[in-house]
Chain A
């Protein structure tokens, strides 16, 4: 309902209003990144956010902090060390047995208490299920603005966060500001930002904070965690090479041209959305706005038209190769190399050619 007004703010509406930060927010300073610790490992989106946070902090001339909420002991301190390695100047750590598994109640409490005590001006979280669950609660508790799924973060000359995000299924971008509240909060989806260089550094300043909550106060209990089976865990988001098929392949029986090429390249395979809707491939293989965002070194798209919703999920690939029978297909607008031909016939030939080129025999030749 609101969107009509949002696109064309009424004259003299808030979009034209001068930013006028209330007194109580004036001492909010520094950039924070929520370090997502899950089952002993840090979610890579946290490192990607530290990379972005570093740039924002440098522009603002402030510090970058990693916020670790986790179980007491080793794993949480490992996460702190990693935050430093990926660019943090300092870290906040809340260690508690209540923070072993993610639950909304203790995590929201820990994060909001930290914010109220140490007052950051910017707080970034991954747009993972955990990050979105937490961000929505924290922003509402603090009554501040939260911009979802940003693809670009920057600071204006006046120091405010300019958060750009796609909307309407990715067909448009908009830049959003949080005017008169602090912290300015934003989430970013995994793989949207590049992974920064890791640099071994000694652990710097760490601020330890105590969670003022008891297990008895938490209503929600985790009964079990059922890890996904391997087949569900398509590692698309992190694959170096991805081969994907679209409706142009004509039928489920032709998908093997994609999977065979993927196998030859040690790649992951994926698809456009209609293939999931037709039941030709499982949902976790879908690439695009409502599927996975990928950042491979090489992306080969066969029989995919290149709709905007698909495009936003693949655009950060280093090299995009498109195979399509239609020379005017939109995918050729953003692919780097195009080949106008029938993918069903061409992909097997390509698989064979790669096999020839990459076989140990030809590798020896290459070495000599």
Chain B
């Protein structure tokens, strides 16, 4: 079985700071990581490969330094890594991203064999749209399984797959055919540590690097800014509320009195609450 996993290199958002004056993102020195949601996709793919055999190819579109993310994925045990990188991809929105990635997947199919499954993460922590997975599926005409919590069973002969899919208010048990695209739900597994062998192999591995032309993309008007119907016009920090919280003075007061004072302050602002709470409370 050939499985392709799409991963994105993202800034470690816990460490992003906003410039207090210019309101722009200060990226300098912000470390990059594999989008955390993609690790659940990668682990699901690796475990599947371990059971049924085959290969896992990781694919990313990004700047040259996205190679780091791919190498990291190899240390976890991926068999092959493909970096799609070209200045023509700069400024891609999700539509242009899914175009480029789907073209690269076609090229991977040609070069290394057609995929039986494509995995993506649920969403990224920077763009955070959850749109690229469904976009790739639609462009490649793959059946789409989003928010998959568990792959319940696989019938290799019939090309059938059953999954548990998270839905509003419950789990859907879905049966479909592969090739298909799966977006993996977070928290459904834990990425393996990767063996020493994998680490050594990752360090030696040649990463496949493709430009738009290498990937067979002829129509550059579908790539990057030109291929993106959406445009970001303004980026700004949320306005801070003009007035700060009114502080209840705590000096020399008993907890009991303090509590009464707080309740009085709450009901003074929201008189209706008192009756509602009296009604609702036990």
Contact = CB atoms under 8 A, between A and B. Distances in A.
Given A226-B170, A319-B270, A350 B262 contact: yes
Contacts of A316: none
A225 B231 contact: no
A150 B128 CA distance: 11
Given A167-B126, A226-B173, A358-B277, A133 B144 contact: yes
B54 interface: no
B176 A241 contact: no
B229 A7 contact: no
Interface residues of A, number: 106
B161 to A, nearest CB: 10
A162 B89 CA distance: 24
Interface string B1-24: 000000001010110101000011
A43 B169 CA distance: 11
Contact of B244 (A6, A227, A332): A332
Given A9-B91, A139-B95, A220-B174, A172 B18 contact: yes
Contacts, number: 313
A77 B53 CA distance: 50
The dominant DSSP class at the B interface is mixed
A6 to B, nearest CB: 5
Contacts of A221: 174-176
B245 A338 contact: yes
Interface in A306-362: 308, 312, 318-322, 327, 331-341, 345-346, 349-350, 352-354, 357-358
A337 B143 contact: no
Given A336-B245, A358-B277, A104 B144 contact: yes
B29 interface: no
B233 interface: yes
Interface of B: 9, 11, 13-14, 16, 18, 23-25, 27, 61-63, 66, 89-95, 97-98, 125-135, 137-139, 143-147, 162, 164, 166-177, 187, 224-226, 228-238, 240-241, 244-248, 250, 255-256, 258-260, 262-263, 265-266, 269-270, 273-274, 276-278, 280-282
